Structure 1
């Protein structure tokens, strides 16, 4: 069965960018890119380490919007269109919820690896692992 709606979660990493390229090259259907802004008091955000503040939350949201807009431009350069979304919440939970509420039938996302620091490797691996185990659809992890 061919996919009709593919979700590509973006986090600004090179592997997430590769996941977008893979999705655009592989699937001839509706593609949505999403960035999840973790609340600054969440353990999955830098807010778990640094003092939260409205200025930092605004910066995180601005960065998320820039990521999805960059992906939109990248898709246009490839002759494709993508829908964009910026959500707030726990990254893995929010991605799974988005799948369930937006008729997504495939997720393509970057996995951990490369030359990242240990914290980034652990977080990205945790999100990908949780999405793979919790999503009710096929998940492709690009490495």
Structure 2
């Protein structure tokens, strides 16, 4: 049913809970796990000069570590993996990656923001992915998030 599963990561602690749900699905379908980290171009655009370059390099290194963690967890279960670090707007880049790589399922974590937090941050990446995806999206709420 699912040949390719995308597990986007932002490098936060929520990935552990996301992997706890996403990897068994991949395992039971013998699916390839795609790991994606998006360097938010809005953050790097806001910085200037050398600060911009330093920030971009720092975020890329963080991304490399984040996708490596997903890759390691998937490979421990004997799953094939594909990892990528891209620049862009997170939700849009996740959706474009899914389209470009014929992804069958997106498994994405969320921190369970309050309505007030959602308003001030203009919504979450996971919400935007769910609202705009043409494929199934499995949203994993961080078990440690406040209700």
The Cα RMSD (Å) is 2.3
1:37 deviates by 0.5
**What aligned pairs does 1:38-57 form with structure 2 within 5 A after superposition?**
38-39=40-41, 42=42, 45=43, 48=46, 52-57=51-56
Aligned length, in residue pairs: 132
Distance in structure 1 (CA, Å) of the matches to 2:98 and 2:74: 21
Q: Secondary structure at the residue paired with 1:93?
A: helix
1:47 deviates by 6.0
Q: Which structure 2 residue ranges, 5 or more long, are not aligned?
A: 142-147
Q: Does 1:80 align with 2:82?
A: no
Q: Does 1:5 align with 2:4?
A: yes
TM-score for the superposition, normalised by structure 1: 0.81
Distance in structure 2 (CA, Å) of the matches to 1:23 and 1:98: 18
Which residue is 1:90 aligned to? 89
1:22 deviates by 1.3
Conserved 8 A contact 1:9-1:109: yes
Aligned counterpart for 2:33 among listed residues 31, 34, 37:
31
- Pair member with larger Rg: 2
Conserved 8 A contact 1:128-1:141: yes
Distance in structure 2 (CA, Å) of the matches to 1:105 and 1:16: 19
1:122 deviates by 4.2
Q: Which runs of 4+ in 1 moved over 3 A?
A: 45-48
1:46 deviates by 7.4
